[in-house]
Structure 1
Amino acid sequence: MDNNEGNEIQLHGDEEILEVIDLNESEPGPDDLADDLEDVDFEDAGNDDGGWETEDEMEAEVEHDDSELTFSKHTGSVFCVSLDPATNSMAVTGGEDDKAFVWRVSDGEVLLECTGHKDSVTCAVFSHDSSMMASGDMSGMIKVWNIQSKEEIWSFEVGDLEWLEWHPCAPVLLAGTDDGNMWMWKIPSGECKTFQSSACQATSGKVLPDGKRAVVGYEDGTVRVWDLKQGNAVHVIKGQDGHQGALTCLACNKDGSLVLTGSVDGCAKLINTATGKVVGSFSADGGKAKGSKDEAETNSVESVGFCNILPLLAVAFLDGTLAIYDLSSQVLRNRCQHEAGIVHLQWEESSSVVSTCCLDGALRLWDARTGNIVSEYRGHTAEILDFAINREASIVVTASGDNLSKVFCLQRPDR
């Protein structure tokens, strides 16, 4: 696809227009972007009493399932899940079957089946206003769909895809690829801007809340803060202060002033986005993390996140440790131990509860203030690979290696 020339993208925030993308400075830009802007499988008993099972034996074969609904349209592992930000009533899941499905959370009805991908769909996300959904597969095929018309409105093929994310307040899509590039497109016109770096994977990325900057982590341990309008890296964090292994995850706090990064080197770094300075470093044992390549083989950081209502942050490790730190003192507050490796964590929007999904197929909710488990939900027969929580923290939608996505209704003593 040829890039259109002479276009500038302007992004509307809540109170002002954010001019973010200058696709070509030789000509004036177009209109503002924001303006476009339960079945039981009884097996043969094989015993010596005539083939009949006792009631207890039959009950033991029935998998314990806490879910309210099971979405079973995928024919391979389900790798990703997202909820639409506008209403939280729609989920999108992507899977090993080279498909994405948009479906209604209340009853599991398929609203849109997204086909045409060449490989496993590992990224599927709604635009900020829920009018569009972007799906991306491992080979680099990206497709954008109009939710109302149920039509594919744009597609593009890049190198092997690492991550995909919409801008928080405009119809702008960003992606990171195996060749180290970050791409940015205006949708649906497809006007494009690329942010080039060293030839190693752009493994994780996040647009900051101001809409003007993005933070990208790379395979060599480097973290870059990009100016989306100018197209240059305003901060590059590497070397002694940076990570000593590939970035696995990153998250920003509510105002975007801080970014927390995780790596296969076994540590998490706290970075000030205004100065580009590393202001904190954390390891699973609660001490100051040094990070080494040797740790990469043992205890990778798999997920990180900030609490929205308290000065707390969470770091999840492959060995099953969920570490809760006090943000101001950087002291370990609680350690929540899991029996299996943690895949993903997410804080509830308006509480101090943090949820985790694990390789053992369980979803767990933890009170970060006490370190105590609040509740545990089961139903999957394989690892949970991703999950999403709605704004009210009343439901969780999961994606699993058992080819299923499930909806769990969260019940807690305080409700």
Structure 2
Amino acid sequence: MDNAEEDAVQLHGDEEIIEVIDLNDTEQTPDDLADEFEDVDFSDAGNQDLDDEGWETEDEMGAEQDDSELTFSKHTGSVFCISLDPVMNNLAITGGEDDKAYVWSVANGEVLFECTGHKDSVTCAGFSHDSKLVSSGDMSGLIKVWKIETKEEIWSFEVGDLEWLQWHPGALVLLAGTADGNVWMWKIPSGECKTFQGPNCQATSGKILPDGKRMMVGYEDGTLRLWDLKQGNAIHVIKGHDGHQGPLTSIECNKDGTLVLTGSVDGQAKLVNTSTGKVLGSFSVGNSEVKSAVEEQDSNSVESVGFCNVLPLIAVAYLDGTLAIYDLSTQNLRHRCKHEVGIVNLQWEDESAFVATCNLGGAVTLWDARSGNMVSEYRGHSAEILDFTLNREGSIAVTAGGDHKAKVFCLQRPDR
């Protein structure tokens, strides 16, 4: 286990303070992280063409409210996923029900190229850490990687039914979780491969930690495994009473990777110390209406979780429309922010205490976590928003909708 980062939990009176101690006195560069994979014992593993064009700047929703700056209308089915390139934040990739993915400009909606050749809905898409490569993955398990500069496919591979796809934060390494419980790791473009075998159930969520050496994976049976990416072994396994009682839906970590926050359909969010594997706390909000246990669990599924970078706060989003803001030090509920419909996703702004959500009503909402007040709301989709992300400054949100559209919204705050 890596001793570079450790957690200490100290008790002061009746109050539990979670103190994060960083013992790593040298910060790793992306080159350092890439070097970590030079001597990984990979086993083994396998290209195509492209197309172009297509966008609109205004949505055709008649008198419907549309607060968006730009509408991307190339898809002919629901848009399931959206990502921004991490270097310049000026390119987006969307994947949809039409078995297609597009790389396009968020400034004018112009298509850079189409990721062709998929045979099922594209549900996963994202950029490498250096924004030079982009990946697209469909439900059947066909994964493709494209070089943005040349617009060419440089690698492809087929796994079982795909659950998630994620780039390493500092190396050209791609990881995927599948329905058979396996997690795959490839060097790109060589295709050298390594697998991490989980239980015989879906690997529903995954998160590579910032050190680039470990990965937390959540499974359909509620268990969590913290994997050592280099050695290929599970450092910690969290299950039973400590684990979740239903499939994992969301995993996020704090800035230095010492803490992980997980969410599940069981209505619980759990805080885990990545050094010890200990569960430091569980978070849930009850529903005011009287419901059966099954209805309660279904309605209160945790859909998304996240850490604030500037204050000791966490956010948990529920399918019943509750956005809960908790104090990380005391683990007390600080604010309960209600939406009229279920929340799909949340994201904290990088350098503020503002948190944005997207929901099944087709709106993006910005909240001030210090006060619990809504700052602004943005509409324009005629169906649910299925995915969204913010740019680095938190000044724009790009969304993917069930109305076959992706949109760009400019977010306004009191301090702007």
Where on the TM-score scale, by shorter chain, does this alignment land: which range?
A: 0.7 to 0.9
- 2:79 partner amino acid: V
CA contact 2:100–2:122 (8 Å) conserved in 1: yes
State, as a whole percentage, how many aligned pairs show the same letter: 73
The AA in structure 2 aligned to 1:308 is N
Q: Is 1:371 the equivalent of 2:372?
A: yes
Deviation of 1:304 (Å): 0.2
Distance 1:247 1:316, change over 3 A: same
Q: CA 1:40 to 1:85, structure 2 compared with 1: closer, same or farther past 3 Å?
A: closer
| CA distance in 1: counterparts of 2:382 and 2:356, whole angstroms | 19
Shift of 1:24: 3.0
Q: Distance in 2 between matches of 1:116 and 1:110?
A: 17
CA–CA distance in structure 2, aligned partners of residues 308 and 81 of structure 1: 23
CA positional deviation for 1:414: 1.2
Q: Distance in 1 between the 2:189 and 2:32 partners?
A: 23
In the alignment, which residue of structure 1 is the partner of 2:301? 300
The answer on 1:143 being equivalent to 2:144 is yes
Look up the match of 1:19: 36
Q: How far apart in 2 are the matches of 1:14 and 1:106?
A: 28
Write the letter of the residue equivalent to 1:13: T
Q: Is residue 21–residue 230 contact of structure 1 (8 Å, CA) maintained in 2?
A: no
Q: Which residue of 1 aligns with 2:276?
A: 275
Q: Structure 1 residue 412: deviation in Å?
A: 1.9
Residue in 2 that maps onto 1:336: 337
- Rounded to whole Å, the distance in 2 between the matches of 1:252 and 1:313 is 10
> Which ranges of structure 1 fall in alignment gaps of 5 or more residues?
1-11, 27-37, 42-60, 287-291
**d(CA) in 2 for partners of 1:168 and 1:360?**
32
How far 1:394 moved relative to its partner? 1.0
- The separation in 1 between residues aligned to 2:296 and 2:60, in whole angstroms, is 44
Alpha-carbon separation, structure 2, partners of 1:239 and 1:298: 23
How big is each residue's C-alpha offset from its partner over 1:337-384, in whole Å with a ceiling of 9 and x where there is no partner?
A: 000000000000110000000000010000001000000000000000
Aligned to 1:391: 392
Corresponding residue number in structure 2 for 1:106? 107
Structure 2 CA distance, aligned partners of 1:172 and 1:335? Answer: 39
Question: Which structure has more RCO (C-alpha within 8 Å, separation ≥ 6)?
Answer: 2
Could you tell me how far apart the structure 2 residues matched to 1:294 and 1:379 are?
Answer: 31
Which residue does 2:252 correspond to in 1? 251
- 1:72 matched residue in structure 2: 73
Is the 2:59–2:71 Cα contact (8 Å) retained in structure 1?
no
3-state SS of paired residue (2:36): strand
Amino acid at match of 1:24: D
Letter matched to residue 108 of structure 2? D
Which residue number corresponds to residue 223 of structure 1?
224
Q: What's 1:204 paired with? A: 205
Q: 1:219·1:246 contact (CA, 8 Å) conserved in 2?
A: yes
**Which stretches in structure 2 are left out of the alignment for 5+ residues?**
1-27, 44-57, 288-292
Q: Is the 8 A contact 2:268 2:284 kept in 1?
A: yes
Distance in 1, matches of 2:366 and 2:357, equals 7
Q: CA deviation at 1:285?
A: 3.5
Secondary structure at the aligned position of 2:350 is classed as coil
The question of 1:190 aligning with 2:191 is answered yes
- The answer to whether the 8 Å contact 1:86/1:129 transfers is yes
1:60-99 per-position Cα deviation (integer Å, ceiling 9, x unaligned): x511100000000000000000000010000000000000
Is residue 59–residue 66 contact of structure 2 (8 Å, CA) maintained in 1?
Answer: no
CA shift in 2, pair 1:25/1:259, >3 Å: closer
**Matches of 2:60 and 2:259, distance apart in 1:** 49
3-state SS of the aligned residue for 1:412?
Answer: coil
Residue of structure 2 in register with 1:265 after alignment: 266
Deviations along 1:268-309, whole A, 9 cap, x unmatched?
A: 0000000000001000239xxxxx877432310000000011
